[in-house]
Amino acid sequence: MNIQELDREYVAGTYSRFPVVITAGKGSLVTDIDGNDYIDLTSGIAVNSFGACDEVWYKAICSQAAKIQHMSNLFYTEPCAKLAHMLCERTGMKKVFFSNSGAEANECAVKTARKYAADKKGGDYYTVITLKNSFHGRTITMLSATGQDHYHELFRPLTPGFVHAEPDNIDYMKTLADAHKTAAIMIECVQGEGGVVALSQEYVKAVAEFAKENDIILIVDEVQTGNGRSGQLYSYMNYGIEPDIVSTAKGLAGGLPLGATLMGEKVKDTLKAGDHGSTFGGNPVACAGGVSILERIDKALLSGVREKSKFLFETFKGAQGIEQVSGMGLMMGLKTTKPAKEVVNACIAEGVLCLTAKDRVRLLPALNIPDDLLKKAAEVIKKCCA
């Protein structure tokens, strides 16, 4: 059996994969089993922040693996402490809990918010308000948090205590918060899986203000938008707000599984010994990868992200077959006249990998994609949309 047959036979059929077997990559180019090269505008869904097998990252993780690959969280290790310090220095947040995925980073955020609310207001203050069209992960609780019914249907009963507000409608949010004893509000500033839709400045500011006035914990889910993707280190920084909790994962460790829940002043001491934990969370190899990524997401890199983003917006705006361009930084959605899936398949046939999000074509290139490759890929996409 070849690899595609083997996979179809033995791997759970939860993914509808493209018919391409990727065997290697370098930067923003990846190679398939037949030796064909592709320009990669997916980064493993916003994971490979500096592209495939980035040299600095690769050396950092190999050097850590050669020292020690894992210890239990009952012992101290350097990469974990160092990365937590860097995350706090860069955000003003106070403490970090490490896990292995976005869903887990959000679970920790919700546990923290619920404990804070229970301590402060009472155990009946457990409701978490999230937004319609949001995506927060695949565990049963994060499915409940996710504001899209089609993720729920087959898996009831869901975890109670989640209600969904209409995005960009502050009155709706206030009405829900009045109707429920609310522990937290959780938002994505740019709804990624929801079609790459950015919330408005006014709305995000109003939500932050409302949460603060009512001592409701504001959680910003930066799993996809985080770690430089939005053109700032975290997308909330584009809105001038200060969340109480920030969750992130995907791009944080440049290609290794790592989730992080950043806790601000209010909740920095909410979780105590024994309240939460993870066997793999804070793994030294993953954290060493995280350090090597985070220390290079500097002013120059972020301004590069914004320039590349501007180039893409300008290239696609008004192009034939492209009805709308949405998103922020290097997280972009294209509403196309042709079905998005058809455009993506045509792009793959032309040597460019991109994704879909709902009915849109979604682009998530590496933050350091060279301009010539980006330009070449954009021309292919334009051609395939027309």
Ligand X SMILES: *Cc1c(COP(=O)(O)O)cnc(C)c1O
Report the nearest approach of ligand X to the CB of residue 101 (Å).
3
**Closer by beta carbon to ligand X, 319 or else 331:** 331
Q: Decide: is 226 part of the binding site for ligand X (CB under 6 A).
A: no
Nearer to ligand X, 46 or 322 (CB): 46
> By the 8 A CB rule, do 297 and 91 touch?
no
With CB under 6 A as the contact rule, which of the stretches 175-183, 221-229, 345-353, 364-372 interacts with ligand X?
A: 221-229
Q: Which residue is nearest to ligand X (CB)?
A: 102
Q: Is 40 in the site for ligand X (CB under 6 A)?
A: no
Give least dist CB 185 to ligand X, A: 15
- Which residue from 77, 98, 129 is spatially nearest to 263, judged by alpha carbons? 98
220 near ligand X, rule: CB under 6 A: no
Q: Which of 29-37, 99-107, 203-211, 354-362 is the region at the interface with ligand X (rule: CB under 6 A)?
A: 99-107
Binding status of residue 107 toward ligand X by CB under 6 A:
no
For 257, residues 6+ apart whose C-beta sits below 8 A from its C-beta are 100, 101, 249, 280, 286
Shortest Cβ 300–ligand X spacing (Å): 26
- The sheet with strand 162-165 has its strands ordered as 95-99, 259-263, 245-248, 217-221, 182-187, 127-131, 162-165
Residue 101 touches ligand X, criterion: CB under 6 A: yes
Q: How far is the CB of 121 from ligand X (least distance, A)?
A: 27
Instruction: Quote the crossing angle between the two packed helices 371-385 and 299-316, to the nearest 10°.
Output: 20
Q: Is 224 in the site for ligand X (CB under 6 A)?
A: yes
Task: Choose which of 41, 61, 84, 103 interacts with ligand X (CB under 6 A).
Answer: 103
Is residue 221 a contact point for ligand X (CB under 6 A)? yes
Nearest distance, CB of residue 94 and ligand X, angstroms: 22
Nearer Cβ to ligand X (287/319): 287
Q: Which residues pair with 24 in a beta bridge?
A: 31
| In the complex, minimum distance from the CB of residue 182 to ligand X, in angstroms, rounded to a whole number | 20
319 vs 213: CA distance, rounded Å: 45
> Which residues between 130 and 189 bind ligand X (CB under 6 A)?
135-137, 188
Q: Cα separations (Å) of 350 from 18, 195, 308? A: 14, 24, 21
The residue among 142 and 385 lying less far from ligand X, judged by its C-beta, is 142
What are all long-range contacts of 293-296, with beta carbons under 8 Å and residues at least 24 apart?
293/49, 293/50, 293/57, 293/227, 293/251, 293/252, 293/253, 293/254, 294/83, 294/86, 294/87, 294/90, 294/227, 294/252, 295/86, 296/50, 296/56
Question: What minimum distance in Å lies between the beta carbon of 215 and ligand X?
Answer: 25
- Do residues 263 and 112 lie in contact, with contact meaning Cβ atoms separated by under 8 Å? yes
* DSSP class per residue in 254-271: SSS--EEEEE-GGGTTTS
Please identify, using beta-carbon distances, which residue of 125 and 135 lies nearer to ligand X.
135
Picking from 113, 67, 89, the residue whose alpha carbon sits closest to that of residue 288 is 67
DSSP letter, residue 150: G
Among 40, 54, 107, 193, binds ligand X (CB under 6 A): 193
Residue 121: CB atoms within 10 Å = 15
Pick 2 or 14: Cβ nearer ligand X: 14
330 part of the interface to ligand X, by CB under 6 A:
no
Q: Is 249 in the site for ligand X (CB under 6 A)?
A: yes
Q: Nearer to ligand X by C-beta: 49 or 378?
A: 49
Interface of this chain with ligand X, residues 299 to 318, rule: CB under 6 A: none
Among 27, 161, 192, 327, indicate the residue that binds ligand X (CB under 6 A): 192
Q: Given the structure tokens 């032309």, which residue do they identify?
A: 350
Which residues are CB-neighbours of 153 under 8 A, at least 6 positions away? none
8 Å CB contact between 287 and 139: no
Residues making contact with ligand X (CB under 6 A): 101-103, 106, 135-137, 188, 192-193, 221, 223-224, 249-250
